[in-house]
Amino acid sequence: MQQEEQEQVNPGNQAAEELFQALGGRISPELLVHALTHRSFAHEHPGMPNNERLEFLGDAVLELVATETLYKVHPDMTEGQLAKMRAKAVSEEALSAIARQKLHLGQYILLGRGESENGGADKDSILCDTVESLIGSVFVEHGIEGARTTVHTLLDDTLAEVATEGPALDWKTSITVKAHKLGLGEPRYAMAVSGPEYAQVFTAELRLEDGGTVIGKGRASSKRKAQLAAAAQGWKRLDDQDLLAALRAEQSA
């Protein structure tokens, strides 16, 4: 390993001490390097293990602690509600945000030259996987109690936040349920794509029946995100009594 890479993850330096503080626990130098080693770096350094097995372990520990926390904190919620909150809390989006905001993790990850040049240190997938590998390494060294402390340190704010989001956990399901309760039609999404292939923009228009009034519109970098944005807008607009009257008139016609 090159000298600068050794210094980057040396647990005795100030940056690594800040990482340990953010994690809520310490791990050995060897395990720390292991947890931070992306497969692209290991490929360029034969014989060096990557962090994928630790990621696999950390993912399971993360789900366990998140599940037991939600189960205890929300005794009146159904299995379906708890599952949606857990999925949101441990999603790639949530974990990559934790990696950036709490751990400032990009500076520590050991990446191969090509991955590094392609911005790998700020990719959601790599950040998310590395958070999981760090949780796995804490479990290896300190067992479930140590890992539980780390998960609570990293995730409790997120677990509290998702409990307040309500329908935002699943806007597409929520708009369907609300439309049915109001006696309206089934949500339909019309999609359009614009922009160059490397930077496509998806636009979704939401109607409650084919050819009806557009009640929600969303633009995003993926089809799913555009539809979620349209569903969120449509869900809120169904509180407008004038719109409801117009939609019912359309349905009668």
In tens, the pLDDT along 138-163 reads 999 999 999 999 999 999 999 988 87
Percentage of residues in the chain with pLDDT exceeding 90?
Answer: 62
Active site residue 4: no
Query: Which of 248, 209, 250, 206 has its CA nearest to residue 231?
Result: 206
| Secondary structure (3-state) at 16 | helix
Q: Choose, from 4, 92, 132, 145, the residue flagged as catalytic.
A: 132
Per-residue pLDDT reduced to its tens digit, 19-61: 888 888 889 989 999 999 999 999 999 999 999 999 999 999 9
Taking 3-state DSSP, the helix, strand and coil percentages for the chain, each rounded to the nearest 5, stand at 70, 10, 25
User: Which of 4, 17, 59, 79 is labelled catalytic?
Assistant: 59
pLDDT band at 9 (very low <50, low <70, confident <90, very high): low
Average pLDDT for 201-218: 92
Q: Is 132 tagged catalytic?
A: yes
Query: Is 55 labelled as part of a ligand binding site?
Result: yes
Indicate left, alpha or beta for 195 from its phi (over 0: left) and psi (-120 to 50: alpha). left
CATH 3.30.160.20 residue spans of the chain: 170-252
Boundaries of CATH 1.10.1520.10 in the chain? Answer: 3-164
Name the architecture of domain 3-164: Orthogonal Bundle (1.10)
CATH number of 170-252: 3.30.160.20
